[in-house]
Structure 1
Amino acid sequence: MPTPREILTVSDDAPPPGETPWVVPPVVQHIDVVPADPTWPARFEALAARLRSALGGRALAIDHVGSTSVPGLAAKPILDVDLIVADPADEEVWLPALESDCFVLTVREPWWQGHRMLRLDAPRAHLHVFGPDAAEPWRHRIFRDHLRRSDEDRALYAETKHEVAALSNAEGEQMMEYNRRKQDVIREIYARAFAAAGLR
């Protein structure tokens, strides 16, 4: 388990020289932020069952995170899921079973908490793979749970997403730029979420 300091520390480190996180290069796609869909939790449960069937005991934890995990929050219609495995770097243990089930390894960032991201087209999902000591899944859950409780921050985040999606679509930007445009508001909300969780 990460320390409180590790959970509080957000890194903007660039990839090491000569490295890229992209296994599949990104492309420009229209960014849709849609009203909350009450079927998203059930879709996650079906996807979690699919992951457990594929991985068995290799799936140490599976969590619904991101905006589709927050009731009433507008979101891109893509499920974000955190998967914890014993060692993300030991890909031969967990990756083949997922690739056999139509998941596509899209991002590999061994320098950043061992993170891998796989894309699934049906249902649309981004599967984030971390190890047991990674801090990022803890941040995801703290952020999610805070937004479930806070009407004010949930409304602020929804408004921000609509605004930056419109800007990114107008500029023909990739998802990375959309995420960067949200970053200041996300960190503002994170500060309140960490304080509510007793993290200083």
Structure 2
Amino acid sequence: MAEYPQDVVQRFHGTPEQVDAGLVGEPPRTWASVVIEEYDRGRAQRFVALRTSIVEALGDLALAVEHVGSTAVPGLAAKPIIDIDLIVEDTAEEAAYLPALERLGYRLVLREPWWHGHRMLVSPGEDVNLHVWPPGAPEPVRHRLFRDWLRSHPHDRERYAAAKRRLARDTAHQPRDYSLAKNDVIDEIYARIFAA
């Protein structure tokens, strides 16, 4: 059994108030509704182009660029939004990386120093969430573990897809509750990951 550091095992469950406190400017319009679509293999291909543009713009500042989230799992229904984890040396040093990403059209929407220095940017079409983390942040580790588990465990992949569809319907009147509503099923899957 693999041993994971405590900060990886213990997930942070943010609140709507914390998201509001971290909001920079206008929230993305994609936060106003939740749409779950069948898997689209084109998103994996698009990630390759996005990764290339990010690495070209940042050079050595981009320590890692990973496709995470549901669009990174073949066969998994997902919101039509690509999630990317970008690791930079110091997320608080925004002047080092933000201007280059803004030239690519990304817009900073979240600044959450209390959550391992997390920053989130969205693409011009708001169909990419670019999450910026410092080295050693536990969340990108969890993202990769979750992605890889769902890639190789079809039962959990289908269970997660069914939960997402149900929760998208159940939270249609309050779409910002969708992410928080997924915590139960996500935590159950993480329990299996950490026990494996």
Give the TM-score of the pair, scaled to structure 2: 0.91
Alignment partner, residue 10 of structure 2: 9
CA distance in 2, matches of 1:29, 1:123: 12
Q: Is 2:112 the counterpart of 1:128?
A: no
CA distance in 1, matches of 2:86, 2:70: 17
Code of the aligned partner of 1:190: Y
Number of aligned positions between the proteins: 190
Q: Is 2:112 the counterpart of 1:145?
A: no
Q: CA deviation at 1:121?
A: 3.1
Name the SS for the 1:143 alignment partner: helix
Alignment partner, residue 85 of structure 1: 88
Q: CA deviation at 1:29?
A: 2.1
Is the deviation greater in 5-14 or in 122-131?
5-14
Residues 1-200 of structure 1: pairs in structure 2 closer than 5 A = 4-12=5-13, 20-26=21-27, 29-122=32-125, 124-169=127-172, 171=173, 173-174=174-175, 176-196=176-196
Is this contact kept in 1: 2:13–2:180, CA < 8 A?
no
- Matched-pair identity in %: 46
Give the TM-score of the pair, scaled to structure 1: 0.89
Code of the aligned partner of 1:195: A
Decide which structure has greater helix share: 2
- Gap regions ≥5 residues in structure 1: none
Residue by residue over 1:108-152, the C-alpha shift from the partner in whole angstroms, topping out at 9 and shown as x without a partner, is: 001110000000134710000000010000000000000001111
1:184–1:16 CA distance, 2 compared to 1 (3 A): closer
Code of the aligned partner of 1:180: L
Name the SS for the 1:20 alignment partner: helix
1:122–1:181 CA distance, 2 compared to 1 (3 A): same
Is this contact kept in 2: 1:64–1:79, CA < 8 A?
yes
- Gap regions ≥5 residues in structure 2: none
CA RMSD of aligned residues (A): 1.9
Name the SS for the 2:132 alignment partner: strand
Q: CA deviation at 1:13?
A: 5.6
1:118–1:152 CA distance, 2 compared to 1 (3 A): same
Q: CA deviation at 1:195?
A: 1.9
